[in-house]
Amino acid sequence: MHSILIIDDEDDIREVAALSLEAVAGWTVYTANSGKEGIVSAGELQPDAILMDVMMPGMDGPTTFKAMQQTKGIQHIPVILLTAKVQGIDQRRFADLGVAAVLFKPFDPLLLSGQIADVLGWKD
């Protein structure tokens, strides 16, 4: 069984994503509501992957990802960014960071686990 950490400042998004990944895929889901909390949680929980919002107050997704890449013990965890920004320049900027993928809001809760599994090569 896979585990995933969802980092998003919006309670509704965290809850919908968590419920969808638990119910549809049967994954263990952890949540954090900020980049700083997400870094700590990733170190403690060692999830198989991280699904993280791009736009968050304080530490946004790209800044959090860069900090994770410099944090021993969590830099190997694949990160998927979740964003409402669909413009090409933003997509290229996010892809250039080295994240595993970029998924777009609004997402379909019934398809989210399949999208993540496809990106990460998870075959159950």
Rounded Cα distance, 99 and 89, in Å:
16
71 within a domain of the structure (yes/no): yes
58 within a domain of the structure (yes/no): yes
Residue 66 is predicted with a pLDDT of 95
Confidence of residue 93 (pLDDT cuts 50, 70, 90): confident
The whole model's pTM is what? 0.93
> Which residue would you say has higher pLDDT here, 77 or 123?
77
103 within a domain of the structure (yes/no): yes
Beta carbons within 10 angstroms of residue 74's beta carbon: 23
13 within a domain of the structure (yes/no): yes
> Which residue would you say has higher pLDDT here, 86 or 69?
69
39 within a domain of the structure (yes/no): yes
24 within a domain of the structure (yes/no): yes
CATH of the domain at 68: 3.40.50.2300
Residue 52 is predicted with a pLDDT of 97
Number of H-type helices and E-type strands within the chain:
5, 5
The tally of domains found in the chain comes to: 1
Residue 88 is predicted with a pLDDT of 62
Residue 63 is predicted with a pLDDT of 95
102 within a domain of the structure (yes/no): yes
> Which residue would you say has higher pLDDT here, 90 or 30?
30
Whether pLDDT at 21 is above 90: yes
124 within a domain of the structure (yes/no): no
Q: Region 66-80: what's the mean pLDDT?
A: 96
Whether pLDDT at 101 is above 70: yes
Domain that holds residue 31: 3-119
